[in-house]
Structure 1
């Protein structure tokens, strides 16, 4: 197969979530032909498929957005300290429409094969509809959550109840007054458990290793906080770009054990009351 037998583009981006959208935006004015393909039916990536109860960002709302759209940073609404899935998806759709990025995108198109072709000096990428793309620049932006990981559980084929996975949640399932078991207690497991607990008849969490869960202190955003963020965005982004975690908060470089026990206790109390487990980890 040679480049004449397929679609030639300068840039092929695989994935239309945050990463793919951001790459398309960054490259759109460089005189390059761009194609973004995604196996899903629309933009959003993980925020299109992860619709389980309680699906929430672990990054605070004021930095879980594209930094280069200064107008949106000042004006686009965000309702809570941590965005829920519907609000994140709506933001991504808004960004794509605002910057006319949909024209680059082709959906329901899954990458099956990708390899560098020495003879042509191009990337050869085959997709599920039989087409082949040839690209000078190949940008995989699928993220780490694009495939379902189904555990091999003995006897699961004989289970007669309803089964759904967090990454492909069945929207038609009604858990009201049901007996529910949740396997796993990572980020999605914790969010599901806390969201459905008030409505189910009983809830059992199956956990291989106990997890220590820190409160998020999620809450609606008031005007005073939004005004403060808007006034300090330049400093916030500068701090993010020069930080280790890029989560938008101050990262101390003083060892925890370098202060006395009373000060350590106060630091932990302050972190707990503020919420955000990543701050405590850092």
Structure 2
């Protein structure tokens, strides 16, 4: 629809209707939908271009771990028909190109302020307005503030003694310089999460030598990335609308077939055959072969031991294979990376592994890294140390809500939200895929569209009814947070010291942050809240108790879409 360019400017008194923080998948879609509603909207982005996580993470081997057919917007049938699908798993470059294409196709760039970071926001309870500060010293006022900052966008940068003495290059995967060149260099890589697992094989191909510093061994599954068959793509695009609907109501935002049997009820030979088939197919489907892999320790162990055997088969040196083999947590309870030859990389003569549990890093030196056992001479060190996930970027803004309450104070013992969308004491503040939503346990674009659509429908309700303020109720927030924890407790997720619980950040309070009940169930709950007139929220002077039994909703998980 045509949008008046009057929306490009604030209203009377310099007041915007909506200010959005971030121009990745969430922020771009939020801007598009807010325009459709006729709201004056301004987006602020710290980077010089759109893309969010796909702008910053340019490290070698950076690739999405959701298949390209589903890792995209579904709001525009024309967009999904015109965008070419080339590889099974899209690269960083392809994802960034896609988001740039969306930005230009829907003329979004004119409402985005780039290279501007939000440094704070304060709620005015008398005027019902947020005053938002930028790092350039500007202030803008807005009726609604929406955070679209992403779940993995605040890098974790651990400190080491002597770091400033090192004379070589220091590179962070989350802020990878475009001119970085590791050809022929002695490279140390610290961190073996998803980022390290993707980058290490690529670095090893060009470096003189790579030393991998591993704290915790990871389960990782082969991606089996490949070019998509044009006939498959053509057929898929004829059924895109049906497939998208299946994604929306599935547990993980994808149309993968759903298991129907327990891993423990089938003969071992049949179970192993199913695992082998999933391994050869590639991707994360191995964890979805049976119903109970993420809820039953014995079932989980059948998959974990299968992967351990694969590691021992692939890695030729028995000692290195032992160091790479996870044994201390259930498979899938940390984010499961997809790799392209990760374990095989340790068969190269120019790759060595340092086990930080046995020989920890003591300090950096001018020439490299000293462990408790030896000094490793290096020309460059790559930090693949992950992110302050889910809450880090929100707390970095640290908005000040009602009665001077800061978000840092509010969440001192862990995040509290209602539906992962709002938090009590912070009126007219909406979070896209915040803590307490399915977010990182799902296909992110599908989860983002659900959240954005819900927020836009809520704003439409407020505008239509002349309601100036909406705020999550403290009781609703408490009930939802309890429900999130209760659902997680029925899974194996809490058994791992993962970034899902904040374990990778020193001093971060431990709680399982995503909602593990599935996107289909979450969507039903959110729809019920909206249909019921937003119980649990304070709308203007009216607040109602939550009369919804969150646990009564069952997920709607359709099956039957063939995969490439």
Give your verdict on TM over 0.5: yes
Matches of 2:142 and 2:245, distance apart in 1: 34
The unaligned stretches of length 5 or more in structure 2 are 1-9, 289-564
Matches of 2:266 and 2:122, distance apart in 1: 53
Matches of 2:82 and 2:38, distance apart in 1: 30
Aligned pairs, how many? 279
1:248-270 superposed Cα distances (whole Å, 9 cap, x missing partner)? 32232433223222221122111
Matches within 5 A, 1:57-206: 57-206=64-213
Matches of 1:6 and 1:42, distance apart in 2: 29
1:53 aligns with 2:60: yes
TM-score by length of 2: 0.48
Tell me the SS of whatever aligns to 2:205.
Answer: coil
Matches of 2:158 and 2:45, distance apart in 1: 25
> Alpha carbons of 1:4 and 1:87: their partners in 2 closer, same or farther (altered >3 Å)?
closer
Matches of 2:252 and 2:77, distance apart in 1: 22
1:205-249 superposed Cα distances (whole Å, 9 cap, x missing partner)? 111111111100001112122123212212221221111111332
Matches within 5 A, 1:235-250: 235-250=242-257
Whether the 8 Å contact between 2:19 and 2:145 is mirrored in structure 1 is: yes
Matches of 2:34 and 2:208, distance apart in 1: 51
Whether the 8 Å contact between 1:7 and 1:132 is mirrored in structure 2 is: no
Question: What's the C-alpha RMSD, in Å, of the aligned pairs?
Answer: 1.9
Whether the 8 Å contact between 1:36 and 1:105 is mirrored in structure 2 is: yes
Matches of 1:6 and 1:255, distance apart in 2: 62
Tell me the SS of whatever aligns to 1:66.
Answer: coil
> Alpha carbons of 1:5 and 1:68: their partners in 2 closer, same or farther (altered >3 Å)?
closer
Whether the 8 Å contact between 1:215 and 1:272 is mirrored in structure 2 is: yes
Larger of the two Rg values belongs to structure: 2
1:115-149 superposed Cα distances (whole Å, 9 cap, x missing partner)? 33211112221111222222222110011333232
Whether the 8 Å contact between 2:62 and 2:91 is mirrored in structure 1 is: yes
1:281 aligns with 2:279: no
TM-score by length of 1: 0.93
> 1:6 offset after TM fit, Å?
7.3
